[in-house]
Amino acid sequence: MANHLLKRGKIVEGGEAFGKAFEHFLFQEIWAHSRYSGLDYPLAYWRTASQLEVDFILGDHELAVEVKATGSADDRHLRGLRAFQEEYQVKEALLVSQDPKPRRMGNIRIMPWAVFLGELWSGKLMK
């Protein structure tokens, strides 16, 4: 809607606008889950002075979630999550992307966005 009103044109997969829209979509789902589930967990963002970041920290460091619109997440996409894990005790670290199937890279789970939402709404990730 905002894109149309601002006359920015079509959002194309692979573009910067697509990545922002993808992250915003997942933010809305996480926020809705926090409220509708009755858990009302805090939702935060984390960034270092050197610009490493994690998009969403759910609860009291229960879940760290980085969102990437890519279909092939790799090691460079995990830097923020790894830095967060070095500073804080986190129950689980996830990279949510458009990867075709779930997998692990060390102690970080890579999850397709639909799998992430299924686990979130079924109560497997936040209790």
Under the banding of pLDDT at 50, 70 and 90, the label for residue 8 is low
Average pLDDT score over the chain = 92
Structural domain includes residue 126: no
DSSP string, 81-103: HHHHHHHS--SEEEEEE--SS-E
Render pLDDT for 61-98 as a digit per residue (tens, 0 to 9).
999 999 999 888 889 999 999 999 999 999 999 999 99
Structural domain includes residue 98: yes
- Residue 29 and residue 117 in contact, taking contact as beta carbons nearer than 8 Å: yes
> For position 18, what pLDDT does the model report?
80
**Total count of domains within the chain:** 1
Structural domain includes residue 108: yes
pTM: 0.90
Structural domain includes residue 50: yes
> For position 13, what pLDDT does the model report?
78
d(C-alpha 96, C-alpha 67), whole Å: 5
Structural domain includes residue 91: yes
Structural domain includes residue 127: no
The domain that contains 65 carries what CATH number? 3.40.1350
Q: Is the pLDDT of residue 1 over 80?
A: no
Q: Is the pLDDT of residue 12 over 90?
A: no
Q: How far is CA 60 from CA 13, 25, 42, 76, 90, in A?
A: 33, 22, 7, 26, 8
Structural domain includes residue 76: yes
